[in-house]
Structure 1
Amino acid sequence: MPSVYCELNANVLHCTTLRKQVIAMSTSPYSIRLDEDLRKTLEREAAIEDRPPAQLAVRAIRMMLESKAAKRAAIDAAVEKADQGKFITADEMNAWIDSWDTENELSAPVASGQSNSQ
């Protein structure tokens, strides 16, 4: 786990991440400007978790970037699947949904090479 050191100066958070490696230690300083409310909220949360504010900031940035990467991967997979040209029609989808919670509930429609228009 990297060590994160942070210094707050005039509402600017200066962070340095130290990573211990077998051969060498690397640092990666990065500064961001925070509005007063965000800075106070970050410091309050850091105090609650008994962690440096920079550690929370790094975790939040990492989670956001991982989330964006996962979203892009899901979109790419959906586009790739859509490029195969297999869809269900609006009529098939509506009939299936209308059958939910009835005695004659239909199975989910199977995608085919048909157009996805009514």
Structure 2
Amino acid sequence: MISLTLTGELEERLKAAADETDTTAPEIVARAVEHYLDLREVRLNSARAAAAEADKGYFVSQAKMHAWVDSWGTADELPPPEADINCFSTH
């Protein structure tokens, strides 16, 4: 069991939402916390995946990214660019 204190305005908004949706304030809070934690988990997993990908050392150059983005919405839209920079290359 967790207890929390809400400011007057937030408490009123929560009560109004509960009344409008025929649910209880604790149910709304529980759903909101679950939603927040789900989003947080997605963001963390995305960040971890991006870091693991970056650790491989392959990147798309700024020039290729700009060319791709500049082509969006045109008749000659380019496919997403492939990595053209290898940070671990000895060349």
Is TM > 0.5 for Structure 1 vs Structure 2?
yes
Give the conservation status (yes or no) of the 8 Å contact 2:61–2:85.
Answer: no
Partner of 1:95: 67
Greater strand percent: which structure? Answer: 1
CA distance in 2, matches of 1:71, 1:87: 21
Write the letter of the residue equivalent to 2:70.
D
Which of the pair has more CA radius of gyration? 1
Q: Deviations over 1:76-118 (max 9, x none)?
A: 0111111111111111222333344154x44332114435xxx
In structure 1, the gaps of 5 or more residues are 1-28
RMSD of equivalent CA atoms: 1.7
TM-score after normalising by structure 1: 0.65
Runs of 4+ in 1 over 6 A off after TM superposition: none
Identity of aligned residues (%): 29
Say how many residue pairs are matched: 86
TM-score after normalising by structure 2: 0.82
Q: Higher relative CO (CA 8 A, sep ≥ 6), structure 1 or 2?
A: 2
Partner of 1:58: 30
Q: Deviations over 1:33-64 (max 9, x none)?
A: 10000000000000011111101111101110
Change beyond 3 A, Cα 1:106–1:51: closer
CA distance in 1, matches of 2:27, 2:78: 51
SS at match of 2:86: coil
CA distance in 1, matches of 2:68, 2:35: 37
Partner of 1:35: 7
In structure 2, the gaps of 5 or more residues are none
Give the conservation status (yes or no) of the 8 Å contact 1:88–1:114.
Answer: no
